[in-house]
């Protein structure tokens, strides 16, 4: 306990707040005395010495505040740059002084600035602006430049300084926070040591070697012999080493495949250490003439005549033997050219005729066909829908029977149709039956009566989806429509799915949200939605995208930990996309945090367009956790400031503004502060906004 500098202080003011220097070397306190003069006491971290202070004020010092940046400048004009910290001091004598730790005199002083004592000081995040408030109700603003204060050190330079001073960096991303000094006492109870789950262990990218047997097995091919070579003798007594040919790897389209095999050493000088199996043949070959037969041959099956790409032609030319170069391979290693592991996206070619007609003529979906008798339980009620296609004979053709029965087999209602049902959908409100003659029948689930006259489609239906009273239909010619039967209106009418299918893949699932927004999931791992506001397709998910694949795995699969809180359209789409694509193990790169940030912000934008408030709150908090882990204090401040201020017309397009979804801003800010309370690195930011939030509540 340090008491001596404060024993002679009068009761005219109190020690309101201490301030740590950004390098952690000094702690400055207001309201101290040195003899008969008021000072700001400097307490050194090493040994807690307190034999130096800031002097010069005529009355008691009321507030001290360090600049958050470490500055670099030639303060002594000796031609050598120095690192220093900057501190602003306010006093009851209505004056302000600015000091740097590299000088014995103040860098700047302003007397009689106010008519009453100075109450508080605050530096901006850039460190070049200073604001002071007084008891007279006024605020003073000071602006400096780098020539006056110095150049702020970058994060990397500060980390280097921390490592030099303390032997450990306190600013690196995704670090442990056990060594961070707690400045806010209320965080001591909140922050508990927790076991962090490390990311999946990965190995850094190594030199390309042949793929292991597991990959070859997945590709449906036999493992090439990569550790065998043939040794023969020529007629002049020389050894000839013939490595076994390694065929190019099959491109599985899954990106880089992990393996743990060690690189192959092509050396036979030391057979005890070499792992290559040498097959010696007691035959003499003619020098400088290669054998006509190769130990391992790769046969290329002739494919039907088709248009070949440049990559296919280049790979085929590699596999063909080149005669002029094979005859001089006594001491030359043959080079195997490996194809690209990342498949290049094939850009679909759309003809001018298709573009003029809306681009939907090339779309042709398969028309599903039901079994002669189909039985399905309706979700949400204990009833079964039974469809018996063309089960009744009549003088004018076959009839299809449609029945609704209980799970015990009791008949509730039945009706007949004049054509076979090819696709159907049912829920507790509505039964939709699409027939092969391009008609659509809508029935009430409870009574079985018709809700609308028979709808005539442009082509037979390929997909149907229901959500309450909203119905989605996609025909086999690629036309999508959505109707709201509750309001008896059309939400989307004959929109082509050509832009969606142009990304390759087939429709594996389609759905419609409670607001009538249609979504489509492809078997290639992509998902799309049609925006009713912008009248265009928007991407919901793409597990084949390079930026998504380079995202931290824990954030890619974060949707799996989302609590069940009603409708979650984005989570439903992500679950189907996750099952349709087998991911490759990810190597952590320098750009992985940037890819993760882009991925998380994309989820927020998607939730806004889907108008899913519960999912927006979940991804918002997940984004805050990522910013805390990466130490992105500037972005965190922007998030908190957006939630703190009143919403204006310009804020409706802001990513962090939740008001358009009916979410309480201050309630969401409280959740953000709870996350910040668990991270000591954000304690100053936590204290600042906690105080502002408490002031607004009072």
pLDDT tens digit string along 326-364?
333 333 333 344 444 444 444 344 343 443 444 445 678
437 in the same domain as 555 = no
Residue 149 lies in a domain: yes
Could you tell me the two tokens for 504?
Answer: 């390759």
Domain end point (choices 468, 497, 526): 497
Gap between the Cα atoms of 489 and 216, Å rounded:
54
Strand partners of residue 526? 542
Rounded average pLDDT over 21-38 = 82
Residue 401 scores a pLDDT above 90: yes
- Domain span at residue 25 reads 19-157
- 303 exposure class (CB count in 10 Å sphere: 0-12, 13-18, 19+): exposed
Q: Of 106, 140, 157, which residue constitutes the final position of a domain?
A: 157
Please determine, for residue 404, whether its predicted confidence score (pLDDT) is greater than 90.
yes
pLDDT in tens, 88-122: 999 888 889 998 888 888 888 888 889 898 989 99
Q: Do 549 and 472 fall into the same domain?
A: no
Residue 55 lies in a domain: yes
Note the pLDDT tens digit of each residue in 534-560.
999 999 999 888 888 888 888 888 888
Mean local confidence (pLDDT), 256-270: 41
pLDDT for 581 beyond 60? no
Query: The domain that contains 129 carries what CATH number?
Result: 2.130.10.10
Provide the domain count of the chain: 3
Record the tokens describing residue 184, joined without a space.
């806010």
**Distance in angstroms (rounded) separating the CA atoms of residues 285 and 459:** 71
The pLDDT assigned to 309 comes to 43
Cα–Cα distance between 665 and 659 in angstroms, integer? 7
Q: What is the pLDDT of residues 619-653, one digit of tens each?
A: 999 999 999 999 898 999 999 988 888 766 566 67
What would the DSSP string read from start to end of 31-80?
EEEETTEEEEEEEETTTT---EEE---SS-EEEEEEEEEEEEE-TTSSS-
Tens of pLDDT, residue by residue over 277-316, are 666 766 666 655 444 444 444 343 444 444 444 344 344 4
Cα separation, 215 vs 643, whole angstroms: 49
How far, CA to CA in Å, does 30 sit from each of 10, 37, 65, 470? Answer: 13, 13, 10, 67
pLDDT on residue 217: 37
Residue 61: inside a domain? yes
Max intra-chain CA distance, the chain: 119
The tens digit of pLDDT for each residue in 163-189 reads 887 776 554 444 444 556 666 666 766
Residue 646 within a domain: yes
Q: What confidence score (pLDDT) does residue 576 get?
A: 83
Range with the largest mean pLDDT of 47-51, 196-200, 280-284, 425-429: 425-429
Picking from 157, 190, 213, the residue at the C-terminal end of a domain is 157
CA dist 450 and 430 (Å) reads: 10
Whether pLDDT at 193 is above 80: no
Residues 30 and 142 both lie in one domain: yes
For 596, phi then psi, to 5°, come to -65, -40
**Mean pLDDT across the chain, nearest whole number?**
76
Residues 119, 105 contacting (CB under 8 angstroms): no
Q: According to the model, what pLDDT value does residue 351 have? A: 40
Question: What pLDDT, in 10s, does the model give residues 475-524?
Answer: 999 999 999 999 999 999 999 999 988 867 889 999 999 889 999 999 88
| Residue 608 forms part of a structural domain | yes
Pairwise CA distance, residues 521 & 510, whole Å? 6
Distance CA 507, CA 496 (A): 13
Listed in sequence order, the residues at least 6 apart from 621 whose beta carbon sits closer than 8 Å to its beta carbon are: 671, 672, 675
Is 526 inside a domain boundary?
no
487 with 616, same domain? no
Better-scored residue on pLDDT, 686 or 284:
686
Is position 223 within any domain? no
Give the percent of the chain with pLDDT over 90. Answer: 29
User: Residue 3: inside a domain, yes or no?
Assistant: no
- Long-range contacts of residues 159-162, Cβ cutoff 8 Å, at least 24 apart: 161/23, 161/70, 161/83, 162/23
Same domain, 681 and 583: yes
Taking the C-alpha atoms of residue 679 and residue 279, their distance in angstroms, rounded to an integer, is 63
Using DSSP, state whether 647 is helix, strand or coil.
coil
- Inter-helix orientation angle 613-630/665-676, to 10°: 30
Residue 642 makes CB contacts below 8 A (sequence gap 6+) with: 651, 654, 656, 657
**In this structure, are 493 and 591 located in the same domain?**
no
Please indicate, yes or no, whether residues 398 and 477 belong to a single structural domain of this protein: yes
Same domain, 492 and 565: no
Cβ atoms of 390 and 372 within 8 Å: the answer is yes
């Amino acid at each position: 306990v340090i008491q001596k500098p404060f024993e002679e202080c009068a009761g005219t003011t109190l020690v309101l707040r201490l301030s740590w220097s950004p390098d952690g070397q000094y702690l400055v306190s207001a309201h101290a005395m040195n003899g008969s003069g008021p000072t700001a006491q400097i307490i050194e971290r090493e040994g807690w010495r307190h034999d130096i202070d800031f002097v010069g004020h005529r009355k008691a010092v009321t507030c001290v505040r360090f600049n958050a940046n470490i500055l670099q400048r030639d303060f002594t004009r000796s031609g050598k740059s120095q690192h220093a910290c900057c501190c602003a001091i306010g006093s009851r004598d209505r004056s302000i002084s600015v000091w740097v730790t590299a000088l014995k005199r103040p860098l700047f002083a302003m007397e009689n600035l106010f008519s009453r004592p100075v109450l508080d000081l605050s530096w901006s995040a850039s460190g070049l602006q200073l604001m002071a408030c007084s008891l007279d109700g006024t605020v003073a603003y000071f602006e400096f430049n780098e020539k006056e204060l110095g150049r702020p050190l970058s994060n990397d330079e500060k980390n280097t300084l921390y490592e030099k001073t303390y032997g450990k960096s306190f600013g690196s991303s995704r670090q442990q926070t056990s060594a961070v000094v707690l400045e806010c006492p209320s965080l001591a109870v909140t922050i508990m040591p927790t076991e962090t789950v490390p990311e999946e262990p990965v190995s850094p990218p190594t030199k390309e070697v042949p793929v292991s047997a597991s990959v070859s097995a997945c590709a449906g091919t036999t493992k090439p012999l990569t550790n065998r070579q043939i040794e023969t003798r020529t007629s002049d007594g020389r050894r000839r080493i013939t490595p076994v040919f390694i065929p190019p790897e099959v491109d599985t389209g899954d990106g880089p495949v992990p393996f743990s095999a060690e690189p192959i050493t092509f050396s036979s000088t030391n057979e005890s250490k070499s792992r290559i199996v040498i097959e010696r043949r007691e035959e003499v070959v003619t020098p400088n003439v290669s054998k006509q037969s190769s130990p391992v041959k790769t046969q290329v099956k002739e494919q039907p005549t088709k248009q070949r790409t440049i990559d296919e032609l280049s790979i085929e030319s590699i596999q063909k033997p080149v005669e002029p170069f094979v005859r001089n391979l006594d001491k030359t290693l043959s080079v195997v050219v490996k194809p690209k592991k990342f498949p290049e996206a094939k850009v679909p070619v759309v003809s001018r005729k298709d573009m003029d007609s809306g681009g939907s003529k090339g779309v042709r979906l398969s028309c599903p066909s039901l079994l002669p008798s189909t039985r399905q339980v309706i979700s949400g009620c204990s009833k079964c829908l039974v469809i018996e296609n063309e089960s009744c004979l009549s003088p004018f053709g076959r009839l299809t029977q449609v029945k609704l029965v209980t799970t015990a087999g009791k008949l509730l209602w039945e009706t007949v149709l004049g054509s076979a049902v090819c696709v159907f959908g049912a829920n507790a409100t509505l039964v939709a039956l699409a027939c092969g003659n391009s008609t659509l029948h809508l029935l009430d689930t409870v009574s079985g009566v018709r809700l609308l006259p028979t709808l005539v489609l442009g082509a037979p239906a390929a997909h149907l989806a229901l959500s309450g009273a909203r119905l989605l239909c996609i025909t086999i010619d690629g036309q999508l429509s959505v109707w709201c039967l509750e309001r008896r209106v059309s939400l989307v009418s004959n929109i082509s799915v050509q832009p969606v299918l142009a990304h390759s893949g087939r429709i594996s699932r389609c759905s419609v949200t409670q607001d009538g927004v249609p979504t489509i999931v492809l078997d290639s791992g992509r998902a799309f939605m049609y925006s009713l506001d912008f009248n265009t397709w928007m991407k919901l998910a793409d597990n084949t995208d390079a930026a998504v694949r380079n995202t931290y795995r824990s954030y890619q699969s974060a949707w799996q930990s989302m609590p069940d809180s009603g409708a979650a359209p984005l989570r439903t789409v992500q679950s189907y996309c996750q099952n349709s694509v087998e991911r490759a193990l990810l190597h952590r790169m320098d750009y992985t945090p940037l890819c993760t940030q882009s991925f998380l912000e994309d989820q927020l934008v998607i939730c806004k367009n889907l108008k899913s408030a519960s999912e927006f709150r979940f991804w918002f908090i997940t984004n805050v956790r990522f910013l805390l882990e990466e130490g992105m204090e500037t972005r965190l401040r922007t998030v908190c400031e957006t939630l703190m201020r009143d919403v204006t017309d310009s804020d409706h397009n802001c990513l962090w503004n939740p008001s358009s979804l009916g979410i309480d801003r201050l309630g969401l800010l409280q959740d953000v502060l709870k996350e910040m309370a668990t991270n000591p690195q954000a304690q100053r930011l936590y204290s600042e906004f906690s105080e502002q939030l408490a002031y607004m509540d009072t």
